[in-house]
Structure 1
Amino acid sequence: MKAARLHEFGGDFVVEEVPTPEPGAGEVRVRVGGSGACHSDLHVRAGEIPVHLPALLGHENAGWVDAIGPGAEGFEIGEPVVVFGGWGCGRCRVCLGGQEQLCDTMRWGGIGPDGGYADYMVVPSTRHLLAAGDLDPALAAPLTDAALTPYSAVKKALPRLVPGTTAVLVGAGGLGQYGLQFLKLLSPATVVVVDSSADKRRLALELGADQVVDPADADAMEQIKAASHGEGAAVALDFVGADATMRLGASSLGPQGLFVLVGLAGGSFPFSFFSLPVQATLTSSSWGSRNELEEVLAMARTGRLVSTIERYPLGEINDVFARLAAGQVQGRAVLIP
């Protein structure tokens, strides 16, 4: 089969022929119909997330069941599926509680185990597959991370977002655009989107943002505070995670506000009693559960979610990642084998 593999950290992907994998006991082979190009893979390519080389990445995947190993049940050959990427042990307290993506031994399908930047991928259990129904696999693939991750983050914030409150969303890229939609669909809060890109601010308004702010504006914080009528935000979600965005998000909070870090840019900021509004809460959010992915898929099937994607053949993967690194992708780039 054709696969795009990383042979050295910092290098380009190599599109090459490799043996087509065969499913073992309990496993399923999926013919990939779309695999989302994620910023996490930029960190893998840079060597910041350890994987064995050569690495076959791609953790946002959808396609069709192609072959079924002995003992694998629940799906038929040819059935359209999406792949849940958090492959836990299935036996520990966390997994049995429905949070396999938080398992101590969790393997990310496509970050370690071979992923979807290929014609085919093998999934270790049918419990990691969900029925895609009539969803286009290119549109369904990003739902497994680019939509699931912000959905889980927003759900953590919902108890704080009562009528009259304000949510600040920092970073309107692939994940932030879904996060904005979930905030508008699920909460009564006023949503302020902060992004340095004029194109992304424009798209945020189209997706329902109540206000957009350019962080380069000298009065950016004053604009954010004004949107909350001077009270500060009840919730700030940072989909970038750089030093500056974390400071901005935390500074926008009001008393007892919640800051949710989602972005992986590696930033930090000092934490002390006086560095945050009184009784503010800081947390992070990583991916989401299989049950939450079911909820995301249900919303997508009803047409309530707008997925902004750019489709590319797998052979253009290096051009895609160059555009991704430069911040030139609108929404999510999806690679089609």
Structure 2
Amino acid sequence: MRAVVFEQYQTFPSLTDVEKPTPGPGEVLLKVAGAGACHSDVAVYREFQEGQPGAQRPAFVLGHENSGWVDSVGEGVTGFTVGDAYLVYGPVGCGHCRYCSKGQDTYCENAATNPYMGIGLGRDGGMAEYVTVPARNLVPLGDADPIAAAPLSDAALTPYHAIKNSLPNLAGGGKYALVVGLGGLGQIAVQILTALTGATVIATDMKEDAMARAAERGAITVPGGPDQADRIREITGGTGVDAAFDFVGATPTVKLAQASMAVGGRFTVVGIAGGTTEWNFFSTPYESTITNTYWGTIEDLHDVVAMYRAGQIEPDIERFALADALEAYRKLEAGELSGRAVVVPTL
């Protein structure tokens, strides 16, 4: 079968022929419906070096945002019907520590000794015609479109988990939420916040078209510039935002969100651009919190699918045939995509 393979550190992946996988005990073989191309993939093949924390040893098939139809099952697997559509929960932990027992494989206590981080992150992923998945990691899609759903396993799961943790800050009237960065995750974050809270959503990005899409979804947008934080505070009547979500994570965006916080606010850094900031007792709103999250739980992904099936969230996608998958990654790196690139092997 054809697959996009990460073959060597700091080297662009290849589209090549690999052996079709066979499901092992406890696994399901999916015929891939869609595989999302994510900036995390770019970090895997472009930024990491051997031995660096988080680096995954090549070679393996990329693709950690996956959906597909059941093709066959491995030994001991029951309850699946050939042809049914599922969304894939990407993280794979040890399966028996206290975090994995809660479905929070991203925080597995044995991550340092696990053979891989997840599907498409050390283990063969879905940027191919077929992929094997632990049966536990499959969330049913019912009659919902699995191709458009593929990015939800990261681009929706990640903001959903961050927002869910911040819901107490947004309960009640007169609340404000800030979304910094309006790429794939940020656009879905605006939709999730609108669906789950009554908060006024403020959104900012350097791209005018991204802000226009967020505005269509009900957000108040603020363009870039030296007075960004002042303009955000002006919208809130001077008090600042009750919850902020930075989907970039660079130093300027971290500082922007930090400067926009209200007393008792919660600021979650979701993007992994490696930004840093300083903390000062007298310049920080009292009882405000700076935290971070990574991906989400499988329970969260069930919630995400429920929101998708209810029409509350819908990712912006651009479809590519598997033969054009490398072009999708090129456009992703160049910033030329207007939505999430989804590779569709059946095209």
Specify if TM > 0.5. yes
Moved more, 101-110 or 194-203: 101-110
1:92 aligned partner: 97
User: Does structure 2 retain, via aligned residues, the 8 Å contact 1:166–1:227?
Assistant: no
2:143 aligned partner: 134
List aligned pairs for 1:110-149, cutoff 5 A.
110-123=120-133, 125-149=134-158
Moved more, 236-245 or 288-297: 288-297
Say which of 221, 228, 242 aligns to 1:212: 221
In the alignment of these two chains, the number of paired residues is 334
1:17 aligned partner: 17
2:51 aligned partner: none
Say which of 155, 179, 187 aligns to 2:164: 155
Say which of 190, 197, 203 aligns to 2:213: 203
Say which of 292, 308, 317 aligns to 2:300: 292
2:79 aligned partner: 74
State the distance in 2 between where 1:97 and 1:9 align: 33
Moved more, 253-262 or 45-54: 45-54
Task: Give 3-state SS (helix, strand or coil) of 1:62's partner.
Answer: strand
Does 1:60 pair with 2:65?
yes
Task: Give 3-state SS (helix, strand or coil) of 2:99's partner.
Answer: helix
User: Does structure 2 retain, via aligned residues, the 8 Å contact 1:35–1:61?
Assistant: yes
Task: Give 3-state SS (helix, strand or coil) of 2:248's partner.
Answer: coil
- Residue type of the alignment partner of 1:77: V
State the distance in 2 between where 1:39 and 1:282 align: 24
2:195 aligned partner: 185
TM-superposed deviation, 1:160 = 0.6
Q: Under a length normalisation based on structure 2, what TM-score does the superposition of the two structures give? A: 0.93
Say which of 226, 235, 241 aligns to 1:233: 241
- Residue type of the alignment partner of 1:57: L
Q: Which runs of 5+ in 2 are unaligned?
A: 49-53, 112-116
Q: Which runs of 5+ in 1 are unaligned?
A: none
TM-superposed deviation, 1:275 = 4.5
Task: Give 3-state SS (helix, strand or coil) of 1:335's partner.
Answer: strand
State the distance in 2 between where 1:94 and 1:116 align: 25
State the distance in 2 between where 1:170 and 1:314 align: 32
Moved more, 228-237 or 74-83: 74-83
User: Does structure 1 retain, via aligned residues, the 8 Å contact 2:58–2:122?
Assistant: no
TM-superposed deviation, 1:245 = 0.3
Task: Give 3-state SS (helix, strand or coil) of 2:331's partner.
Answer: helix
- Residue type of the alignment partner of 2:8: E
Task: Give 3-state SS (helix, strand or coil) of 2:22's partner.
Answer: coil
Does 1:38 pair with 2:48?
no
TM-superposed deviation, 1:328 = 2.4
User: Does structure 1 retain, via aligned residues, the 8 Å contact 2:184–2:315?
Assistant: no
User: Does structure 1 retain, via aligned residues, the 8 Å contact 2:35–2:344?
Assistant: yes
TM-superposed deviation, 1:20 = 0.8
TM-superposed deviation, 1:110 = 0.7
Moved more, 284-293 or 195-204: 284-293
- Residue type of the alignment partner of 2:280: S
- Residue type of the alignment partner of 1:130: V
User: Does structure 2 retain, via aligned residues, the 8 Å contact 1:177–1:331?
Assistant: no
User: Does structure 1 retain, via aligned residues, the 8 Å contact 2:37–2:340?
Assistant: yes
Task: Give 3-state SS (helix, strand or coil) of 2:30's partner.
Answer: strand
TM-superposed deviation, 1:137 = 1.7
State the distance in 2 between where 1:71 and 1:105 align: 25
Moved more, 95-104 or 80-89: 95-104
User: Does structure 1 retain, via aligned residues, the 8 Å contact 2:228–2:256?
Assistant: no
1:288-317 CA-partner distances (Å, limit 9, x unpaired) = 111111111111112121221100112222
Q: Under a length normalisation based on structure 1, what TM-score does the superposition of the two structures give? A: 0.95
Sequence identity (%): 42
Moved more, 176-185 or 82-91: 82-91
Large movers: runs of 4+ above 4 Å: none
TM-superposed deviation, 1:83 = 0.8
2:259 aligned partner: 251
Task: Give 3-state SS (helix, strand or coil) of 1:145's partner.
Answer: helix
State the distance in 2 between where 1:56 and 1:23 align: 16
List aligned pairs for 1:262-301, cutoff 5 A.
262-301=270-309
TM-superposed deviation, 1:89 = 2.2
State the distance in 2 between where 1:20 and 1:91 align: 29
User: Does structure 2 retain, via aligned residues, the 8 Å contact 1:40–1:264?
Assistant: no
- Residue type of the alignment partner of 1:102: Y
User: Does structure 2 retain, via aligned residues, the 8 Å contact 1:166–1:192?
Assistant: yes
